Amino acid sequence: MKCFTLFQYWNQALKAVLFIYNLFLLLLLNYSQFLLIIINNFTCMNKYSIRSFIEETAQDESKNDFFQLESVHMLELNINNQTVMLKKGAMVAYTGNIKFEREGMLSKGIGNLLKKTMSGEGTTMMRTSGTGRVYAADFEKRVRILYLENEAINVNGNDILAHENSIQSDVKMMKSIAGIMGGGLFQVRLAGTGHIAITTHGKPMTLLVKPGQPIFTDPNATVAWSGNLTPTIKTDISLKTFIGRGSGESFQMMFEGEGWVIVQPCEEVYGAPQ
């Protein structure tokens, strides 16, 4: 009889212990869920705070390359007693001791001055020198950095954002009256060794030019092409063109040979508000 009573005692005690243990787990689980809810609400409230905004948008100081992208739309220049040619009006901000000097009108010779004047597309560059960090952008266009190794590239003048001072630049003009009428056909030849930064509206596409397979592009959508290619102008002018009933694609650039052409998903109109 005593043994049976002792068994019952231990059985009740075990049940009590299990009950307390389950109660503890239940309370712990509820507390964890409650704590998680509080943390989530706290995070949601904090993600709109000024501190969160600063942390999200603060500049990246982990890299210090000469030419680098701060973002897809912004170029960062880390200048150390160096000189960079930067598009006029492209400077967004800078730190350090930086000096900006507008490129002289005759710095590239009277020939380049006349070409710029006739085309209306010659980009004015600023001589940017000193020691510090410069941020540059151009109407939120995408920025792409290229490094030339004793190479040449032809770029639409409006799409040049910056280049090293060691890079030689020369304004080229299409030898065609139709080319002048077409617009967007005055380009800058960049040659030498060093960094350059070009811009595009949207994500660019590179077309490969192969022998016997010419490529035709809209002048206002053409950004750059390899230095060995010399485009010609293909015209499609009719009476409908002059009375406003044509296709609107009366002038095209034709590339023949072997090389590449960069185009953008936008027909940039020069001189128009961007």
Instruction: State whether 41 and 89 are in the same domain.
Output: no
Output the pLDDT for position 102. 86
SS3 271: coil
Structure tokens at 249: 């694609």
Please give the helix or strand (H or E) that residue 23 lies within, else none: helix 2-46
Output the pLDDT for position 246. 45
CB atoms within 10 A of CB 121: 21
125 touches 165 (CB < 8 A)? no
Q: Which domain holds residue 148?
A: 67-263
Instruction: State whether 45 and 75 are in the same domain.
Output: no
DSSP per-residue letters across 179-202: HHHHSS-EEEEEEEEEEEEEEESS
What is the reported pTM? Answer: 0.74
Q: Which residues of the chain have pLDDT under 70?
A: 1-13, 15-19, 21-45, 104-123, 174-185, 236-249, 270-274
Output the pLDDT for position 47. 72
Residue 270 lies in a domain: no
Output the pLDDT for position 176. 53
Could you tell me the end-to-end alpha-carbon distance of the chain, in angstroms, rounded to an integer?
99
Residue 272 lies in a domain: no
Indicate the burial class of 152 (C-beta count within 10 angstroms; 0-12, 13-18, 19 or more).
middle
Instruction: State whether 37 and 146 are in the same domain.
Output: no
69 touches 144 (CB < 8 A)? no
What CATH number is associated with residue 111? 3.60.160.10
Instruction: State whether 179 and 92 are in the same domain.
Output: yes
Structure tokens at 120: 């209306």
The CA-based angle 78-81-82, given to 5 degrees, is 70
SS3 212: coil
Number of domain units in the chain: 2
96 touches 139 (CB < 8 A)? no
CA distance 144 to 108: 25
CA distance 251 to 237: 8
CA distance 262 to 41: 48
pLDDT, tens digit, 9 for 90 and up, residues 105-126 = 545 554 555 444 444 444 689 9
